[in-house]
Amino acid sequence: MKTAIGIDVGGTNVRCGLVDERGAVLARRSAPVGDDRTHRAVIDLTAQLVAQLVAEAKEQPTALGCGVPGIVDSDRGVVIRSPNFPDWEEVAIGAELTRVTGLAAVVDNDANQYALGEQRCGAGRGRSNLILLTLGTGIGGGIVLDGKILHGDCGFAGEVGHMVVEADGVDPGIGWPGDWEHYAASRGFATLAARLPEGPREAFVKRAGCAIDALTPERVAQLADAGNAQAVALWQEFGRYLGVGMASLINIFGVTTFVLGGGIARSWDRFVPAAREAIARHTYQQNVDRLVIEPAALGDDAGIIGSALEALDGS
Amino acid sequence: MKTAIGIDVGGTNVRCGLVDERGAVLARRSAPVGDDRTHRAVIDLTAQLVAQLVAEAKEQPTALGCGVPGIVDSDRGVVIRSPNFPDWEEVAIGAELTRVTGLAAVVDNDANQYALGEQRCGAGRGRSNLILLTLGTGIGGGIVLDGKILHGDCGFAGEVGHMVVEADGVDPGIGWPGDWEHYAASRGFATLAARLPEGPREAFVKRAGCAIDALTPERVAQLADAGNAQAVALWQEFGRYLGVGMASLINIFGVTTFVLGGGIARSWDRFVPAAREAIARHTYQQNVDRLVIEPAALGDDAGIIGSALEALDGS
């Protein structure tokens, strides 16, 4: 059976694995990204991990896949920009990885590869169409259609967090006014709390013990656990906004299978029911009847598996 | 060279054509839809037109394609619902057309086929990815990715008019609050005029000589021609909303080629500049640099050509 190396370059760790065609992870290596976040340093680190995996492999892997957060032109193997690695602009990571490992390399956006991993081996197994959303600081997206990752014209597909859900939305100070991820990602709690009426807002902020901008999903979840009504309502409003954007994606793609990943997904029961209600208001009943929303199943292995399988598809 | 019959079933007319593999229309037949709008009556009418085309064709056409407004499950050849033909619910149009014509039949949403026609032979020629928008009473959409129509799980793809652009949008009385087509289609002028401040609104309505709900793009264009400032501003606001939704589609698909059809597209210069400005505010500069917005080029032939080519793809 063919195998490939899968690599998930995160902001904190580089994870590598030896993966077979069925998506089974045969071996793993990982290491923290050091202080030197240049692509040279990260690629050297990655090359060491890959060399260890190759040395232990029974047979030579066929190819190598690598996921990076940000905008990636996978046709060219080039990282166009990455929020986690500010100096990686128009960097030919694919060619560099091939140079240091000797393996044919496929590079892609990390969420795209998570989506492929979940579709082939995780929560979306058995479905040919799937939308993966990672709910973190922003909303990452990976879209699989007919079993293949949607790439668009050159790597800018799946930037679903920049879908506009409030055309007259206020600029939060970082641009992109009205974007979905200002409401339905971590930063959404600040956006939504700021819209509370003055009295409840002040009471809530006092209870939270932090500035509105410093509100985290974890803190709001703690307050909701403690019975704070505003906190419960904020999670529901978060879910409503999540559902509004999901309904738009359903209407656009005709795809009704979603996999949700990222830390916030741990608070599932606080927001998924509200998301379902919003979806039902904004799409056809036939789509609601088919709707499947699942938590991501592969955890930290999603990127390793997805990147290796994408590499094997192309080999 | 292979040929196919292409059929465009509109709310007013049925258009049929004999089309070759290159998309050239070799012959045409059309007839108005009669008072009997049942699928039996419309299929009988269509069968007559097709029989005339087949009788005159030099060689037997290979297949038949048919476009219908509404939700179509093209895998099954079934019209699930159609705004123009209220009793066509779960009707197996494909099987019916095969029965009466003897030709293998492909049935699809009309805008999907317009998109394929424009991509292969019209304004999108030479591009593998394209989003077609028909701006009429609502916003129809057809999305071509890697040269193929996006269908989603079962016919509900491309319903882009139901993308939510105002999460807190007001229900206009027909459901679907906050949807894109309540702002950036014909009905958008009523939505946008209703939001004018009271004084200017009353003056504008008086000048228009009709109720707000009766405002048409044509009337607002006349008033703009006559130098009415509110009318000019309404067209710009229409363009801004159009651009907000287009930016979302760019961010989601990574696709930067748009073809605009429908009657409103005739007022191009009134709203496309405002749409471009809105797109620039809501997506990456690299996407703005690649942006192409073209008017549909095939006119009334788009459906005939697109449906025939889709049929030939499957034959």
Is the distance from CB of A241 to CB of A183 less than 8 angstroms?
yes
Contacts of B290 in chain A (CB under 8 A): 153-154
State the pairing for strand pair B25-32/B13-20. Answer: antiparallel
CB contact under 8 A, A165 and B162: no
Cα B125 to its chain centre, rounded Å, is 18
The yes-or-no verdict on residue B266 having pLDDT over 90 is no
Q: Does B160 reach chain A within 8 Å, measured CB to CB?
A: yes
Number of H helices, E strands in chain B: 10, 12
- Whether A64 and A104 have beta carbons less than 8 Å apart is answered as yes
Q: Please, what is the average pLDDT of chain A? A: 95
Q: Phi/psi of residue B200, each to 5°?
A: -60, -35
User: Which of B139, B149, B151, B164 to mutate against chain A (most A CBs within 10 Å)?
Assistant: B164
Average pLDDT of chain B to the nearest whole number: 95
Residues from chain A contacting residue B280 (CB–CB below 8 Å): none
**Distance separating alpha carbons of residues B111 and B71, to the nearest angstrom:** 10
Q: Which residues on A lie below 8 Å from B89 (Cβ)?
A: none
**Residue numbers of A between 236 and 255 with CB closer than 8 Å to B:** 240-241, 244-245, 247-255
Q: Which is nearest to A131 in space by CA: A166, A159, A152?
A: A159
pLDDT digits (tens, 9 = 90+) for A78-137: 999 998 898 999 999 999 999 999 999 999 999 999 999 999 999 999 999 999 999 999
Q: Which one, of B275, B255, B271, B253, lies nearest residue B263 by Cα?
A: B271
Please choose, from the candidates B213, A145, B109, B287, the residue with its C-alpha nearest in 3D space to the C-alpha of residue B117. B109
> A293: which strand partners?
A258
Q: How far apart (Å, rounded) are the C-alpha atoms in residues A89 and B26?
A: 51
pLDDT tens digits for range A15-49: 999 999 999 999 999 999 989 999 999 999 999 99
Q: Does B129 contact A at CB distance below 8 Å?
A: yes
Contacts of A238 in chain B (CB under 8 A): none
What does the pLDDT average to over A274-295?
A: 97
Distance CA(A34)–CA(A16), nearest Å, equals 16
Report the distance separating Cα B274 and Cα B234, nearest Å: 11
- Mutate one of B108, B133, B153 to test the A interface: name it (highest A CB count within 10 A): B153
pLDDT at B216: 95
Identify the band that residue B263 occupies on the pLDDT scale cut at 50, 70 and 90.
Answer: confident
A250/B129 CB distance under 8 A: no
Strands A105-109 and A63-68 turn out to be parallel
Residues B153-162, mean pLDDT to the nearest whole number: 94
Q: Percentage of chain A with pLDDT > 70?
A: 100
Residue A227 Ramachandran class (φ > 0 left, ψ -120 to 50 alpha, else beta)? left
- Residue A264: which region, alpha, beta or left (left: phi > 0; alpha: psi -120 to 50)? alpha
Q: What is the pTM of this model?
A: 0.96
| DSSP character string of A101-147 | H-S-EEEEEHHHHHHHHHHHHSTTTT-S-EEEEEESSSEEEEEEETT
Q: Which residues contact B45 (CB under 8 A, 6 or more apart)?
A: B14, B31, B33, B34
Closest CA to B309 of B78, B30, B66, B109: B66
Cβ contacts of residue A219 below 8 Å, gap of 6+? Answer: A208, A210
Interface probe with A: pick from B109, B133, B251, most Cβ of A within 10 Å: B251
**Torsion sign (Cα): B215, B218, B220, B222:** negative
d(CA A189, CA B39): 51
pLDDT category, B308, cuts 50, 70, 90? very high
pLDDT in the model for residue A214: 94
Q: By the CB < 8 Å criterion, does B132 face chain A?
A: no
- For residue A148, the distance in angstroms to the closest alpha carbon of chain B comes to 11
Residue with tokens 């990260």: A42
What one-character DSSP code corresponds to residue A15? E
Query: Is the per-residue pLDDT at A315 higher than 90?
Result: no
Q: Is the pLDDT of residue A170 over 90?
A: no
User: Would you call B178 an interface residue with chain A, using a CB distance cutoff of 8 Å?
Assistant: yes
DSSP string, A50-75: HHHHHHH-SS--SEEEEEESSEEETT
Cβ neighbours of B110 (radius 10 Å): 26
Q: What is the pLDDT of residue A265?
A: 87
Cβ <8 Å between A284 and B71: yes
Q: How high is the pLDDT of residue A51?
A: 97
For B177, which residue in chain A has the nearest alpha carbon? A282
> Is residue B271 a contact partner of residue B235, using CB atoms and an 8 Å limit?
yes
| Whether pLDDT at A175 is above 90 | no
Question: Distance (Å, rounded) from C-alpha B103 to C-alpha B5?
Answer: 9
Residue of A nearest to B238 (CA): A167
How does residue B78 score in pLDDT terms, banded at 50, 70 and 90? very high
Identify the band that residue A174 occupies on the pLDDT scale cut at 50, 70 and 90. confident
How far is residue A25's CA from residue B31's CA, in Å, rounded to a whole number?
Answer: 62
Query: Could you give the 3-state DSSP secondary structure of residue A27?
Result: strand
Name the amino acid, one letter, at A235. W
Q: What is the band of B112 on the pLDDT scale with cuts at 50, 70, 90? A: very high
The pLDDT > 70 percentage for chain B reads 100
Least CA distance to B72: which residue of chain A?
A: A254
Mean pLDDT of A253-259: 98
Tell whether the model's pLDDT for residue B297 goes beyond 90.
Answer: yes
